[in-house]
């Protein structure tokens, strides 16, 4: 398959899930989780995209051998056809992708449940639901106290109303957004007519949130494109910290237009026994795996603006790990890595193609290097601070 073959697949400029299919085989037609029937063929790879057209096209770039992993290159050699399912939003695509991967288990897809869990966190803020681990003992659980659970555990919500919430969640996961929004609008008008304005406002907020998720343009604003320069240049830097593989943490720091924005810093606890990417539940000291987990969990938050540049600490290994995570997410974001000397001071900066940028010419690059080093320094400081606090807490220190 080559780039000339893409025209016959009529890929839309919209979010969705795409399927690379290999040689046909004798089984019955494959069916997606939503009942779609695909052409006969072995599913090699499943991915999601903000723009199906642009994302799939990127697989056939001239520099495919240098920008993609050998694993993906091999997959493309076997691919014979592309199928897709268009969705109403990036979030719906993420959820559908996880469902399809679980069902078909393509040989070129790695498995990681973190993205779906993070997506569920977003939906839970719109439609709060009970965690299955919560005991029905008449007392409000912690989630109920912070607004993520409507409180069936404490009798805060009638069974009828809670069943209605679960029904709406089902409509969302079945990609029946028009029907869901129409149902909410009908209930909102009914509540307003009964002068239950507080409840009507709550429904209105849910409708707004759902339409917010469906706004494709909003997600596109968060992506870096070649023909459009955002007014704010956002750099995200990542670092991990641990002691002999224990108390492993990761962090994300943000520098916008040369200034750190600490309100957007994020912390990530890494639990070895819960990470399916780690063989036998071990490898807490593997910084590359730790970095991949942090990045995967971060990219599961489309409500956080995506960066123009990602900065990681390390060398070519960290660059390749970051690129692999971005490819899986369907994102094209520039990457640089800060290489340190024996005294842990910045020695050089590598870009995503493994070339040194430190000695490049141009005032713009010099200004960018300053921001890169600032973001990297902040990530290192923030990671150490978080790690020491967690380690002290586990040792029983105040």
Where among 109, 127, 154 does a domain terminate?
109
Q: Do 132 and 103 share a structural domain?
A: no
In-domain check, residue 154: yes
In-domain check, residue 242: yes
Q: Do 136 and 62 share a structural domain?
A: no
In-domain check, residue 224: no
**184 pLDDT higher than 50:** yes
- The better pLDDT of the pair 138, 221 is held by 138
3-state helix, strand, coil split of the chain in percent (to 5) is 45, 15, 35
pLDDT of residue 266: 94
**36 pLDDT higher than 60:** no
CATH number of the domain within which 98 lies: 3.40.1440.10
- The better pLDDT of the pair 362, 375 is held by 375
Residue-wise pLDDT tens digits, 83-106? 999 988 777 888 888 888 888 888
Q: Do 369 and 332 share a structural domain?
A: yes
Q: Do 155 and 62 share a structural domain?
A: no
Q: Do 386 and 253 share a structural domain?
A: yes
| Token pair recorded at residue 367 | 């200004």
Total domains, the chain: 3
Q: At what angle do helices 177-193 and 159-173 cross, to 10 degrees?
A: 150
pLDDT of residue 156: 87
Q: What is the mean pLDDT of residues 213-219?
A: 43
In-domain check, residue 322: yes
pLDDT of residue 123: 80
Where among 79, 109, 139 does a domain terminate?
109
pLDDT of residue 64: 57
**226 pLDDT higher than 60:** no
Q: How far, CA to CA in Å, does 46 sit from each of 78, 194, 270, 289?
A: 14, 48, 26, 22
In-domain check, residue 341: yes
pLDDT of residue 362: 38
Q: Do 169 and 32 share a structural domain?
A: no
In-domain check, residue 222: no
Q: Do 182 and 125 share a structural domain?
A: yes
Q: Do 320 and 259 share a structural domain?
A: yes
CA angle 113, 119, 125 (to 5 degrees): 140
Give the least confident one: 3-17, 65-79, 266-280, 309-323.
Answer: 266-280
Q: What is the mean pLDDT of residues 14-41?
A: 64
**164 pLDDT higher than 60:** yes
Q: What is the mean pLDDT of residues 323-352?
A: 82
Q: Do 355 and 301 share a structural domain?
A: yes
pLDDT of residue 284: 56
In-domain check, residue 266: yes
pLDDT of residue 395: 65
CATH number of the domain within which 303 lies: 3.30.420.340
pTM of the model as a whole: 0.42
pLDDT of residue 355: 45
Percent of the chain whose predicted confidence (pLDDT) is above 90? 15
Give the least confident one: 56-65, 173-182, 227-236.
Answer: 227-236
pLDDT of residue 27: 41
Q: Do 166 and 92 share a structural domain?
A: no
**Boundaries of domain holding 24:** 3-109
In-domain check, residue 258: yes
**378 pLDDT higher than 90:** yes
Q: Do 69 and 21 share a structural domain?
A: yes
Where among 109, 127, 158 does a domain terminate?
109
pLDDT of residue 392: 73
CA atoms of 90 and 217, how far apart (whole Å): 11
Q: Do 321 and 182 share a structural domain?
A: no
């Amino acid at each position: 398959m080559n780039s000339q073959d893409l025209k016959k697949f009529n890929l839309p400029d919209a979010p969705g899930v795409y399927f690379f299919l290999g040689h046909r085989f004798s089984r019955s037609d494959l069916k997606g989780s939503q009942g779609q029937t695909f052409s006969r063929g072995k599913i090699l790879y499943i991915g999601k995209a903000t723009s199906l057209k642009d994302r799939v096209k990127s697989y056939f770039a001239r520099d495919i051998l240098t920008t993609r992993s050998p694993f993906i290159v091999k997959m493309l050699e076997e691919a014979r056809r592309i199928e897709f399912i268009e969705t109403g939003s990036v979030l719906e695509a993420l959820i559908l992708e996880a469902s399809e991967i679980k069902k078909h288990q393509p040989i070129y897809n790695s498995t990681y449940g973190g993205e779906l869990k993070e997506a569920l966190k977003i939906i839970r803020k719109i439609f709060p639901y009970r965690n299955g681990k919560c005991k029905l003992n008449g007392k409000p659980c912690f989630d109920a106290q912070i607004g993520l659970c409507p409180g069936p555990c404490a009798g805060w919500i009638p069974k009828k109303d809670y069943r209605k919430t679960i029904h709406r969640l089902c409509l969302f996961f079945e990609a029946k957004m028009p029907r869901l929004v129409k149902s909410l609008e009908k209930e909102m008008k009914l509540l307003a007519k009964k002068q239950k304005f507080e409840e009507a406002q709550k429904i209105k907020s849910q409708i707004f949130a759902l339409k917010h998720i469906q706004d494709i343009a909003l997600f596109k604003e968060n992506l870096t494109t070649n023909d459009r320069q955002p007014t704010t240049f956002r750099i995200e830097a990542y670092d991990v910290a641990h002691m002999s593989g224990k108390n492993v943490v990761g962090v994300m720091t943000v520098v916008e237009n040369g200034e750190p924005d600490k309100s957007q810093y994020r912390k990530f606890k890494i639990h070895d026994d819960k990470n399916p990417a780690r063989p036998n539940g071990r490898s807490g000291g593997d910084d590359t795996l730790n970095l991949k987990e942090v990045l995967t969990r971060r990219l599961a938050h489309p409500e956080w603006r995506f960066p123009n540049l990602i900065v990681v600490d390390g060398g070519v290994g960290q660059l390749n790990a970051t690129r692999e995570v971005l490819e899986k997410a369907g994102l094209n974001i520039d990457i640089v890595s800060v290489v340190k000397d024996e005294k842990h001071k910045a020695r050089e900066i590598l870009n995503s193609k493994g070339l040194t940028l430190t000695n490049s010419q141009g005032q713009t690059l010099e200004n960018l290097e300053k921001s890169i080093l600032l973001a990297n320094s902040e990530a290192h400081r923030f990671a150490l601070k978080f790690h020491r606090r967690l380690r002290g807490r586990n040792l029983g220190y105040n």
